[in-house]
Structure formats: C-alpha cells, structure tokens
Amino acid sequence: MKFCTDEVTGVRVYGRNVVVRARQVLDTMPQCALLPFVFFSVSIACSYFEIMSEGLFAKLPFDRYSSFLVTDTISQSSTPAMWFFNRKGPSGFSGASTAEEVTAGVDGRGLVAVITGASSGIGLETARVLALRSVHVVMAVRKVAAGLKASEAIRAEIAGAKVHVLELDLSSMDSVRRFASEFDSLNLPLNILINNAGILAKNCTRSIDGLELHFATNHIGHFLLTNLLLENMKNASRESGVEGRIINVSSSGHIMTYPEGICFDKVKDPSRFWTYIAYGQSKLANILHSIELARILKCDQGDDVNILTNAIHPGVVGTNLFKHRASANAVVNSIGRIVRKTVEQGAATTCYVALHPQVTRISGKYFSNCNLETPSSQASNSELAKKLWEFSTKEKEENDDDIDQEDVLVEEMDE
C-alpha cells in the first residue's frame, strides 16, 4: 500500500480511499450521530484522568458504584449522588428529590398500577414506593423468577403490600396480548399504567415481529399494551371517578435521533440503524405516543372519563440499562458520575407524575426532575406524533390479522 497526500487536508494517508470513504460516511450521517463519539472520547479522557489522578473522584462528594451491574434487590444505593442539581423547581421538588419524598403523604389505597420492567432499576424502585403508598402493584416482568424475588423483597419490607407478578415480553406482540388477557383475568380495575421497561441493546437486531428491537420493545410493545388496557382504565375512571394516569418513561436521549425524527421506512431493517440512534428514536417515540394519546383522549372521553398521559425523563441513573454498552457504561461511570442520580432519585419523577395531586389535569406533557420541561422540537411535533400513531396502529392491525388467521387454522385443524 502506498502513501499519498489528500488534496484538501494535506494529510498523508495509506491509500487515498481512506479519507474519501471517511468523508462519505460523515456526509451521510446526521450530525447528532456524532454525539456518541464525543461522549465516548470524553469518557475515555475522564477515565484516563481518573486513573492518572489516583482516584481523585473518590475524594469528591459523589457516591461511587464499583459496578453498574445492579442486582435485583431493593434500595440499590442510599447516598444521594446529586449535589449541584438540587435547585427546586415550581413543583417544590428537584433532581435530588427521592421517590419517597415526592409521594410523602399520598394515600394510594384503592388504586391499581401496572409497571413494566419492574424487576430491576427504576421500575423496581417505582414498584416499591407505590406499594409503600398502598397502591396494588402488578409487576410486568420479562424474567418471572427475578420478578418474584423482587416482589418478595417488597413484601418483606412493606407489611401488607399488594404485589402481583405477571410475565411480559414487550418485544413480542403475542406476549403483550397474553399479558393483557392474564391481567383481565385478575378482575382488577386499572388506574395507573407505567410504561417503564426499556433496552439499550448490544446490536440492532430484529424482534420476533420483524421490527428493529429498540423500536419494538421500547415503543410498539408499550403502544399495544396501552391500547389493550385502555378500556379497563376508562371503566375504572368512570366507575371510581378517580383520574387514570399513563406514564411513558422516555429519556433526554430522545434528541439523539435522525433529522426526520422517526425513520418509518427503516424500522423493519435493523441493519440500517446504529444502536444509540435506534434507542434515541424509540425514546422519541415514547413522547410522541404520549402527546398523541393525550390529544385523542381529550377528544374522545366524556365528562365521566378522565385519563392523563405524560412522558418523563428519569435522569442519568446507574442501572442495568447500560450493561450491554461498554461505552455508555464508561460515560456514566466516569463523567456521568457528576450528574448521576441514585435509583431512589431516578424513580422520583415517575412516582410524582403517577401519584402527586399537583399533576391533576396535566396531560400530554414532558417532565424531568419532577417538573415540567420542554422536550425537543421533534418531540413536540404533533404531525409526527399522528404519523407515528398511524404507523403503530397499522403494525398492531397486521398482528391482529395474523392472529385471526392462526385462529382460523386452529379451528380448521380441530374440525
């Protein structure tokens, strides 16, 4: 291979093609796709700095996790990690408030909540605090053994806690339907639905239904679940007069997506995605789902039905979310330590929006640090929200058709 000099940069490279190819790739990438590179570089620099300074960070007043592979136990940390983000907002709470603090004095007796991804991290802490406020909690979990262990820990801590565990794999529409029918068979009203589960996968693969895995798990699974449980929520609101609440756990990472927001034509082709962008896209979908549902509910529901739907960002929290991504783990573990919340703080915004009386009549909004916040312009785009709703409805209907055909086949075989 020969040296040659690039005409524009004057850089001597092995083969001219290297520079030309690099330029082509950069030209076709959205600018926001460079953010992970920036984060990664900063992270490496911080890790290097930390090693060189012989653990300077350990001497500063941040709480320190030796590892983010948090086990499925309750109360994963007790020392507040935040110290300069504790300025209170109009709600009277801040990023340093914990889930217990923001729900102090709230009586959740008579309420039933479904929480997805409740066997670990933010979902587990949300389940624990809702149970502490006497809410009947249904933990919707992918790994039933982990869910049962977590529910036992909640019962051991909170005398009289009402906790159920049901299996749910959001990446499969069939599993979502099974969960909804099992929940129906419990004959419980539903007042609160917390769409919390989420993945940041190792690679962009395809779900069992043929969709990019982040989009399938983080958005479509929750879209279908909400759709299947909505009638129950409407009835519960009508009969009890208590307002229902749907919370979509999104992320500030929703800004890290494609310029057009959601790439509808690519969600069936995972090879066209990059993991962080796929995650950002799915988190944008969580907010758009919430604002369109709020609009539809406002138009549809009569005076006797009252259901609020909001999206939230929990903050940067050391959980299992980053276990597949060494670079993200490195960022949260190094520079992220400065802004990182404990799990108790990370569950605060969800619990605030789910239970606090201040949120009454607020719908279609985005919360962070237990206060209202403005999301990106894409996340406020009502046209994009409508388009996503139509797309997701079509996916759901195609799955309805598949199930109808399967039923016909089974009937024919029985005859």
Stretch that binds ligand NAP, among 9-17, 50-58, 121-129, 352-360 (CB under 6 A): 121-129
Q: Does 289 bind ligand NAP (CB under 6 A)?
A: no
Q: Which of residues 223-282 bind ligand NAP (CB under 6 A)?
A: 249, 251
Kind of pairing, strands 366-368 and 3-5? unpaired
Helix (H) or strand (E) holding 73: none
Catalytic annotation, pick one of 258, 279, 352, 366 = 279
- Beta-bridged to residue 366, according to DSSP, are 311, 373
Judge whether 70 and 120 are in contact, CB under 8 Å. yes
Among 142, 214, 222, 254, binds ligand NAP (CB under 6 A): 142
d(CA 389, CA 38): 33
Q: Please answer whether residues 297 and 324 qualify as being in contact, where contact means their C-beta atoms are separated by less than 8 angstroms.
A: no
- Cα 126 versus chain centre, distance: 13
In terms of CB distance, is 245 or 313 closer to ligand NAP? 313
Structure-block tokens of residue 138? 């249904």
DSSP 5: E
Separation CA 355–CA 148 (nearest Å)? 24
Catalytic site residue 14?
no
Options 102, 106, 163, 197; binder of ligand NAP; rule CB under 6 A: 197
Indicate the SS3 state at residue 85: coil
Mask 151-170, x = binds ligand NAP (CB under 6 A)?
A: -----------------xxx
The answer to the question of residue 143 lying near ligand NAP (CB under 6 A) is yes
Please identify, using beta-carbon distances, which residue of 235 and 320 lies nearer to ligand NAP. 320
Residue 209 lies near ligand NAP (rule: CB under 6 A): no
User: From CA 415, how far away is CA 408, in angstroms rounded?
Assistant: 11
Name the DSSP class of 139. Answer: E
Query: Considering the rule CB under 6 A, would residue 370 count as an interface residue with ligand NAP?
Result: no
Nearer to ligand NAP, 142 or 245 (CB): 142
Q: Which is nearer to ligand NAP, 166 or 236 (CB)?
A: 166
Which whole-number Å values give the CA distances from 348 to 351, 352, 374, in the listed order?
5, 6, 18
Tokens of 231: 């009638």
Q: How far is CA 174 from the centre of its chain?
A: 21
171 binds ligand NAP (CB under 6 A): yes
E strand or H helix that includes residue 308: strand 307-313
Determine the interface stretch with ligand NAP among 47-55, 318-326, 369-377, 384-392 (rule: CB under 6 A): 318-326
Q: Which tokens in the block code for residue 280? A: 């950002």
Task: For the segment 298-317, give every residue that binds ligand NAP (CB under 6 A).
Answer: 313-314, 316-317
| 349 is an interface residue for ligand NAP by CB under 6 A | no
CA distance 391 to 114: 25
Nearest distance in Å: CB 44, ligand NAP: 20
Nearer to ligand NAP, 236 or 344 (CB): 344
Smallest gap, in angstroms, from Cβ of residue 371 to ligand NAP? 16
Question: Interface with ligand NAP includes 319 (CB under 6 A)?
Answer: yes
Is residue 122 at the binding interface for ligand NAP, with CB under 6 A as the rule?
A: yes
H runs (alpha helix) in 29-68: 35-52, 56-59
Binding status of residue 198 toward ligand NAP by CB under 6 A: yes
Site residues (vs ligand NAP, CB under 6 A):
116-117, 119-123, 142-143, 146, 168-171, 196-199, 217, 249, 251, 313-314, 316-317, 319-321
- Tell me the catalytic residues: 279
